[in-house]
Structure 1
Amino acid sequence: MKLLGSTTSPFVRKVRVVLAEKKLDYSFILENVWAADTTIQQSNPLGKVPCLLMEDGAVMFDSRVIVEYLDTLTPVGKLIPALGRERAGVKCWEALADGVLDAAILIRLEKTLRPAEQQNEEWVQRQWSKVHAGLKTMSTDLGEATFCAGNHLTLADISVACTMGWLSFRFPEIDWRTDYPNLARLFDKLSERPSFKDTIPH
């Protein structure tokens, strides 16, 4: 398999962490979707990463779709429960973490791509409200538990940690560690795993 992506995308990082935890072999191909010579749309018509190229030529995109597929390839390190409420719970954690990222990425794009006089501060604050509400909910739902869902590592933990890592990378001024010490503990614990050490955004 080949994974098209960047070292800064939190969605690509989520897929790379899952690949590592599942001990799956793949080639990582760097792709800058903002470059004039990008070829990403040859694989993903939406022009986004991550994008997974399978050995038979099939293509898969969207991190949520990709990680769900990867979890079926081997029973090693099962990350998504098979059925029912537990499965839905893990996927809800992923959706919440991804939603925080979506809002934060929109803020970054507004601040970096638009001239200051064209930026819509009211719209930016609306996105910030989603970020802070999402972080508060993740912290509340985690409580004092060791993992987000159940008693072992799942996609929920990976999704949350990739979100916190990206916020630290792109918005270091947000003091989420002080506001949400339980999220900081989870993030620090997961950051010791090789899958996270090898995928630090840069």
Structure 2
Amino acid sequence: MKLISATPSPYARKVRIALAEKGIPFELVTEVPWNADTQTPRYNPLEKLPILILDDGTSLYESHYLMEWLDRKYPTPSLTPGDDDTVMAAKRLEVLGDGVCDALVLLFFERLRPAEHRSEAWMARQRRKMDGGVREMARLVGDREFVVGASFGLGDIAVGCTMCILDLRFPEFRWRDEYPNLARYVDRLSERPSFRATVPVVQTIAASAI
């Protein structure tokens, strides 16, 4: 199988980490989905990454769906072990993480607009979403080794990928100072081989795509 990914994408990184944790071999194809030469529309009508292309040519997309698909098709090791309450607690963290990342993307592109065309109210709204989501994730993580249950799983991937992209894209968002327990937790996660192998890297977006 192939995974079409963008190097800074926290959504694609979640899937890359899941594939690594499960030991599933795959070919990594790196894209800049905003550029005119992207192949993304060929495989996803929504033109978003990540995209998983199976050996029979079937394309699967959207990170929530891909994470669940992988856990059902390759259940060992499970990323959502435990009873229904535990599974839903992990998915709640996934929702929070993706919500923060969605706001981050909206704020990032708004900042690329000429200053006279930016909406300060819009940017403030996205920043409030980021602040609120991080605050809630920090509360849920607390002093735990793993955010849900007694083993690494979906919730840890969601929180770790979210906080690492904030470090990359918004270093001025000094969440580590405000939430030191969360910072220690993310630093522990970052030592896992799957995290070390997928550190987000900025890509250059063609000027014509902005």
Normalization by structure 1: what TM-score?
Answer: 0.96
Deviation at 1:94, TM superposition (A): 0.5
Residues 1:169 and 2:168 aligned together:
yes
Give SS of 2:73's match.
Answer: coil
Structure 1: how far apart are the matches of 2:17 and 2:84?
25
Q: Deviations over 1:57-87 (max 9, x none)?
A: 2111001100111112333321013652111
Name the counterpart of 2:206.
none
Structure 1: how far apart are the matches of 2:54 and 2:75?
19
Name the counterpart of 1:31.
31
Give SS of 1:166's match.
Answer: helix
Give SS of 1:4's match.
Answer: strand
Q: Deviations over 1:101-151 (max 9, x none)?
A: 111111001101x21100000111011111001111111111111111011
Name the counterpart of 1:2.
2
Name the counterpart of 1:201.
200
Which runs of 5 or more structure 1 residues have no equivalent in the other structure?
none
Name the counterpart of 2:81.
81
Name the counterpart of 1:135.
134
May I ask how many residue pairs the two structures share in their alignment? 201
Query: More deviation in 144-153 or 157-166?
Result: 144-153
Question: CA RMSD, aligned part only?
Answer: 1.1
Name the counterpart of 1:52.
52
| Alpha-carbon contact 1:50-1:62 (below 8 Å) kept | yes
Name the counterpart of 2:72.
72
Residue type of the partner of 1:24? I
Structure 1: how far apart are the matches of 2:151 and 2:180?
20
Residue type of the partner of 1:186? Y
Structure 2: how far apart are the matches of 1:121 and 1:81?
43
Structure 1: how far apart are the matches of 2:12 and 2:177?
27
Structure 2: how far apart are the matches of 1:52 and 1:27?
10
Percent sequence identity over matched residues? Answer: 44
Structure 2: how far apart are the matches of 1:110 and 1:53?
31
| Alpha-carbon contact 1:149-1:156 (below 8 Å) kept | yes
Normalization by structure 2: what TM-score?
Answer: 0.93
Give SS of 1:71's match.
Answer: helix
Residue type of the partner of 2:114? P
Structure 2: how far apart are the matches of 1:101 and 1:46?
18
Structure 2: how far apart are the matches of 1:81 and 1:145?
17
| Alpha-carbon contact 1:23-1:76 (below 8 Å) kept | no
Residue type of the partner of 1:178? D
